[in-house]
């Protein structure tokens, strides 16, 4: 049997303030999409950062197709995991095209210039996020939503095996939220990759993800298929706020009461 | 309409070619001008036959070494400026921001106060610069995550400390030592002689930075973003810090603290469109070099036979030039 694309076993989540959660175990196969839900400060970003090697694994193991994260080089990890950050500082000038091209860095060889293929991939990513006309603009001149689309285009250009998205819907209007996540999910099923997103939008998670990891902030977590984890009682408990649900013909909708 | 991708490779080639031509022209101008006027034929004779007559002595012993020293120094400062701006992720950073020039100046001024010979002054400056480099690094990088902010604050505070020491040395010195101290502090190329070492440091600095150029592009987007793209950020920062420090220290020992080159040259090139470090790095070397060569040529000619410290001229030329480019860049961005 093949190893799952991502396997996490007994992983500790620590912040400078202490332990965030009991050791986490989960696994994700190709084609699956995982949402990480939970209140502020429960460790959603910490988990994402740990999974893509930005924070050391202190206890437990993270492995990609059976290969331990700690054995992988930075470049190997960057080919596997494409990280979209929640907020990025942009102090130095750069054009949209240059920022998206940085997504190709994990695939670059020392002293090599970008290939024709790299340029094609960047142009295609720009086109998918309606950014082609902004390619030569300095990123400082863009709105928050446009910058978020640039960041999504860059992570698409990175062509990782697992997309790791921290608040992918940040700054996006509802039309672009749906467009961007549709795009990412299509990419996941097309290329047989996977996606993990930390989000505060329960409905986006319910709509786009096959699995949910719910951190309850009291040291516990629930992991499972979306239908089995998301219900109003569990969510109310995790968010310490009454969450109601209505069922429409298409989907279930959650909202704070 | 033809697509404009890949953007700018041709434009960048033109820019670099123009900068190389500018470098050659600036060096020729520097060798060709001076208080003794030489005609083109005399100049050519002097260059071709270094036979010890007056004009060949002027060319080979005075003008060429000084022009080369200016070029090396300007190149080193501009390269170091590029690195510091990325390392500290701060557009206001210049090669001296972490206290290297302060340390070098204190070393040199102590040597002047003690009446040491010129050679010892250079050694003392180098020792002061290196001490400052290690001091700032030791204070800022003790924790595993040495953030840009921490490095910047440490450097600025250490610089302030050097500033106080410099003022003490200045106020307690006699009038004629103050004169040579001021020249040191403002940057002056009149005593500079380039050596093979300086050239070696420039070339190896260039090679190291070029090998890291794409990683520099990633690092200018932030530590975390760079790390997520597979860059070994801790190692890269270490390489950048020490290569910039060595280049700055070398430049300071050649010419004192020549200001402005390291701050504005990288920005000028960015505003001219060279934001990718694979172009920005060589571009800075050529523009920084020729900028300082031209500034020094003016410094020794405009009030001839008297000479101005070149540091004054770099600011006098640099400020208006930079403001014009900034204004143009701003107009392009908003249109």
Are B25 and B289 a contacting pair, CB within 8 Å?
no
Neighbouring residues of A23: CB distance < 8 A, sequence distance ≥ 6: A10, A11, A12, A59, A60
CB of A14 less than 8 A from some CB of B: no
Closest residue on chain B to A48 (Cα) = B228
The answer as to whether B27 is a domain residue is no
| Structural domain span for residue A11 | 6-256
CB of B91 less than 8 A from some CB of A: yes
Q: Report which DSSP code applies to B190.
A: T
A71: domain CATH number is 3.40.50.300
Are B106 and B165 a contacting pair, CB within 8 Å?
yes
Are A39 and A238 a contacting pair, CB within 8 Å?
yes
Express each pLDDT in B41-72 by its tens digit: 888 888 787 777 788 888 888 899 999 999 99
| B108 and B253 housed in the same domain | yes
Q: What was the pLDDT predicted at B326?
A: 75
Q: What was the pLDDT predicted at A157?
A: 97
Mean pLDDT rounded to a whole number for chain B: 88
The answer as to whether A206 is a domain residue is yes
Average pLDDT on B93-112 reads: 91
Mean pLDDT rounded to a whole number for chain A: 93
- Residues in chain A with CB shorter than 8 Å from the CB of B12 are none
How does residue A254 score in pLDDT terms, banded at 50, 70 and 90?
very high
User: Does B6 sit behind a cis peptide bond, omega within 30 degrees of 0 on the bond before it?
Assistant: yes
Spatial distance between the Cα atoms of B29 and B105, rounded to a whole number of angstroms: 31
ipTM: 0.93
How does residue B331 score in pLDDT terms, banded at 50, 70 and 90?
low
Pairing of strands A162-166, A194-198: parallel
The Cα of B324 is separated from the nearest Cα of chain A by a number of Å equal to 18
Express each pLDDT in B121-163 by its tens digit: 888 999 999 999 999 999 987 766 678 888 999 999 999 999 9
The answer as to whether B190 is a domain residue is yes
Closest residue on chain A to B232 (Cα) = A74
Could you say which residues from 278 to 297 on chain B have a Cβ atom under 8 Å away from some Cβ of chain A?
278
Top mean pLDDT of A151-155, B107-111, B274-278, B305-309 is at A151-155
Which member of A52, A73, A97 has the closest CB to residue B228? A52
Spatial distance between the Cα atoms of A5 and A7, rounded to a whole number of angstroms: 7
CB of B223 less than 8 A from some CB of A: no
Are A76 and A131 a contacting pair, CB within 8 Å?
no
* CA separation, residue A78 to residues A75, A249, B42, B227 (Å): 5, 41, 62, 8
| B208 and B293 housed in the same domain | no
Closest residue on chain B to A103 (Cα) = B229
CB of B218 less than 8 A from some CB of A: yes
Q: What was the pLDDT predicted at A237?
A: 93
| B182 and B305 housed in the same domain | no
The answer as to whether B145 is a domain residue is yes
List the single range of A159-163, A180-184, B43-47 with lowest mean pLDDT.
B43-47
**Listing from the earlier edge strand, what are the strands of the sheet with A61-64?**
A18-28, A6-15, A61-64, A67-68
- Residues in chain A with CB shorter than 8 Å from the CB of B4 are 135-136
Binary contact (A77, B230; C-beta < 8 A): yes
B231: domain CATH number is 1.10.3470.10
| B250 and B223 housed in the same domain | yes
Express each pLDDT in A187-219 by its tens digit: 999 999 999 999 999 999 999 999 999 998 888
Average pLDDT on A129-156 reads: 93
Task: Give the number of domains in chain A.
Answer: 1
Identify the CA nearest to B291 among candidates B324, B258, B323.
B258
Task: Give the number of domains in chain B.
Answer: 2
The Cα of A216 is separated from the nearest Cα of chain B by a number of Å equal to 27
Greater confidence, A222 or B322?
A222
Pick the last residue of a domain from B257, B275, B297: B257
How does residue B199 score in pLDDT terms, banded at 50, 70 and 90?
very high
Binary contact (A54, B275; C-beta < 8 A): no
| B129 and B253 housed in the same domain | yes
First-to-last C-alpha distance (Å) of chain A: 45
| Structural domain span for residue B135 | 94-257
| B238 and B102 housed in the same domain | yes
The share of chain A scoring above pLDDT 90, in percent, equals: 79
Strands (E), B248-311: none
Q: Which residues pair with A224 in a beta bridge?
A: A212
Phi first, then psi: give them for residue A138, nearest 5 degrees: -75, 140
Q: What was the pLDDT predicted at A53?
A: 93
The answer as to whether B77 is a domain residue is no
Total residue length of chain B: 335
Which member of B217, B222, B227 has the closest CB to residue A88? B222
- Residues in chain B with CB shorter than 8 Å from the CB of A83 are 228
Which member of A74, A98, A141 has the closest CB to residue B232? A74
- Residues in chain A with CB shorter than 8 Å from the CB of B208 are none
Average pLDDT on A47-63 reads: 93
Q: Best interface-test mutation with B: which of A74, A99, A155, A163 has the largest number of B CBs within 10 A? A: A74
How does residue B3 score in pLDDT terms, banded at 50, 70 and 90?
very low
Q: How many CB atoms lie within 10 A of CB A220?
A: 12
The Cα of A193 is separated from the nearest Cα of chain B by a number of Å equal to 18
CB of A110 less than 8 A from some CB of B: yes
The answer as to whether B52 is a domain residue is no
Binary contact (A89, B222; C-beta < 8 A): yes
The answer as to whether A1 is a domain residue is no
Sign, CA dihedral B252-B258-B260-B266, equals negative
| B223 and B204 housed in the same domain | yes
Identify the CA nearest to B270 among candidates A98, A93, A211.
A93
- Residues in chain B with CB shorter than 8 Å from the CB of A104 are none
Q: How many CB atoms lie within 10 A of CB B144?
A: 7
The answer as to whether A20 is a domain residue is yes
Binary contact (A92, B85; C-beta < 8 A): yes
Binary contact (B230, A54; C-beta < 8 A): no
Phi first, then psi: give them for residue B223, nearest 5 degrees: -60, -50
Q: What was the pLDDT predicted at B7?
A: 57
Which member of A89, A91, A102 has the closest CB to residue B217? A102
The Cα of A114 is separated from the nearest Cα of chain B by a number of Å equal to 9
Which member of B7, B230, B232 has the closest CB to residue A106? B230
The answer as to whether B38 is a domain residue is no
Q: How many separate helices (H) and strands (E) can be counted in chain B?
A: 15, 0
List the single range of A186-190, B1-5, B192-196 with lowest mean pLDDT.
B1-5
* pLDDT of B1 higher than 50: no
Which member of A78, A102, A123 has the closest CB to residue B5? A123
| B214 and B154 housed in the same domain | yes
Average pLDDT on B293-316 reads: 89
Q: What was the pLDDT predicted at B335?
A: 46
* pLDDT of A64 higher than 90: yes
The answer as to whether B55 is a domain residue is no
Greater confidence, B48 or B16?
B16
Which member of B7, B221, B270 has the closest CB to residue A88? B221
| B140 and B218 housed in the same domain | yes
∠ Cα A188 A191 A196 (to 5°): 30
Q: Best interface-test mutation with B: which of A16, A56, A89, A92 has the largest number of B CBs within 10 A? A: A92
Pick the last residue of a domain from B230, B257, B284: B257
How does residue A108 score in pLDDT terms, banded at 50, 70 and 90?
very high
Q: Best interface-test mutation with B: which of A16, A72, A100, A102 has the largest number of B CBs within 10 A? A: A102
Are B148 and B223 a contacting pair, CB within 8 Å?
yes
Q: How many CB pairs under 8 A join A and B?
A: 89
* pLDDT of A87 higher than 90: no
Are A131 and A122 a contacting pair, CB within 8 Å?
no
The answer as to whether B140 is a domain residue is yes
Give chain A as a 3 state SS string.
Answer: CCCCCEEEEEEEEEECCEEEEEEEEEEECCCCEEEEEECCCCCHHHHHHHHCCCCCCCCCEEEECCEEHHHCCHHHHHHHEEEECCCCCCCCCCEHHHHHHHCCHHHCCCCCCCCHHHHHHHHHHHHHCCCHHHCCCEHHHCCHHHHHHHHHHHHHHHCCCEEEEECCCCCCCHHHHHHHHHHHHHHHHHHCCEEEEECCCHHHHHHHCCEEEEECCCCCEEEEEHHHHCCHHHHHHHHCCCEEEEECCCCEEEEEC
Spatial distance between the Cα atoms of B61 and A50, rounded to a whole number of angstroms: 61
Express each pLDDT in B256-292 by its tens digit: 889 899 999 999 999 888 989 999 999 999 999 999 9
Neighbouring residues of B152: CB distance < 8 A, sequence distance ≥ 6: B88, B90, B93, B97, B98
Q: What was the pLDDT predicted at B295?
A: 95
Spatial distance between the Cα atoms of B116 and B129, rounded to a whole number of angstroms: 18
Q: Which two tokens stand for residue B328?
A: 């143009």
Closest residue on chain B to A165 (Cα) = B228
């Amino acid at each position: 049997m093949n190893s799952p694309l991502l396997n996490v076993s007994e992983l500790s989540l620590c912040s400078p303030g202490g332990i965030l959660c009991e050791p986490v175990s989960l696994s994700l196969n190709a084609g699956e999409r995982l949402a990480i839900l939970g209140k502020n400060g429960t460790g959603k970003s910490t988990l994402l950062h740990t999974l893509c090697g930005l924070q050391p694994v202190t206890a437990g193991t993270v492995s990609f197709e059976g290969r331990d994260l700690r054995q992988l080089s930075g470049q190997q990890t960057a080919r596997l995991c494409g990280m979209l950050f929640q907020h990025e500082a942009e102090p130095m000038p750069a054009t949209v095209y240059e920022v998206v091209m940085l997504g190709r860095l994990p695939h670059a060889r020392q002293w090599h210039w970008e290939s024709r293929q790299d340029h094609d991939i960047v142009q295609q990513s720009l086109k998918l996020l309606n950014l082609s006309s902004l390619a030569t603009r300095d990123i400082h001149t863009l709105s928050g939503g446009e910058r978020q689309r640039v960041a999504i285009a860059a992570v698409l250009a990175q062509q990782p095996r697992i997309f790791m998205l921290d608040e992918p819907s940040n700054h996006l209007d509802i039309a672009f939220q749906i467009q961007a996540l549709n795009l990412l999910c299509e990419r996941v099923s097309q290329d047989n990759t996977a996606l993990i997103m930390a989000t505060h939008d329960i409905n986006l998670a319910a709509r786009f993800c096959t699995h949910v990891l719910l951190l309850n902030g009291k040291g516990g977590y629930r992991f499972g298929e979306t239908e089995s984890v998301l219900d109003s009682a569990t969510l109310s408990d995790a968010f310490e706020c009454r969450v109601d649900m209505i069922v429409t013909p298409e989907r279930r909708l959650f909202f704070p009461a | 309409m033809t697509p404009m991708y890949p953007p700018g490779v041709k434009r960048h080639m033109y820019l670099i070619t123009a900068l190389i031509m500018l470098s050659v022209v600036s060096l020729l101008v520097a060798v060709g001008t001076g208080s003794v006027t030489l005609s083109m034929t005399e100049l050519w004779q002097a260059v071709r036959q270094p036979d010890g007559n007056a004009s060949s002595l002027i060319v080979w012993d005075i003008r060429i070494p000084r022009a080369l020293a200016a070029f090396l120094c300007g190149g080193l400062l501009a390269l170091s400026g590029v690195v510091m701006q990325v390392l500290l992720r701060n557009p206001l950073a210049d090669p001296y921001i972490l206290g290297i020039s302060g340390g070098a100046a204190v070393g040199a001024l102590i040597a002047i106060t003690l009446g040491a010979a010129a050679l010892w002054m250079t050694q003392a400056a180098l020792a002061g610069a290196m001490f400052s480099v290690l001091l700032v690094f030791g204070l800022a990088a003790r924790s595993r995550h040495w953030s840009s902010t921490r490095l910047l604050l440490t450097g600025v505070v250490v610089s302030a400390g050097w500033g106080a020491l410099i003022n003490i040395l200045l106020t307690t010195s006699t009038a004629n030592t103050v004169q040579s101290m001021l020249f040191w502090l403002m940057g002056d190329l009149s005593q500079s002689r380039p050596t093979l070492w300086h050239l070696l440091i420039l070339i190896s600095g260039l090679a190291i930075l070029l090998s890291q150029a794409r990683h520099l592009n990633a690092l200018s987007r932030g530590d975390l973003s760079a790390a997520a793209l597979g860059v070994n950020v801790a190692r890269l920062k270490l390489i950048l810090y020490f290569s910039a420090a060595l280049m700055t220290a070398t430049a300071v020992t050649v010419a004192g603290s020549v200001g402005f080159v390291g701050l504005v040259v990288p920005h000028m090139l960015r505003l001219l469109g060279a934001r990718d470090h694979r172009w920005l790095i060589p571009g800075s070397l050529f523009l920084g070099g020729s900028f300082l060569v031209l500034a020094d040529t003016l410094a020794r000619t405009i009030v001839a036979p008297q000479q101005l410290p070149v540091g004054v001229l770099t600011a006098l030329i640099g400020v208006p030039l930079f403001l014009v480019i900034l204004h143009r860049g701003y107009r392009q961005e908003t249109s």
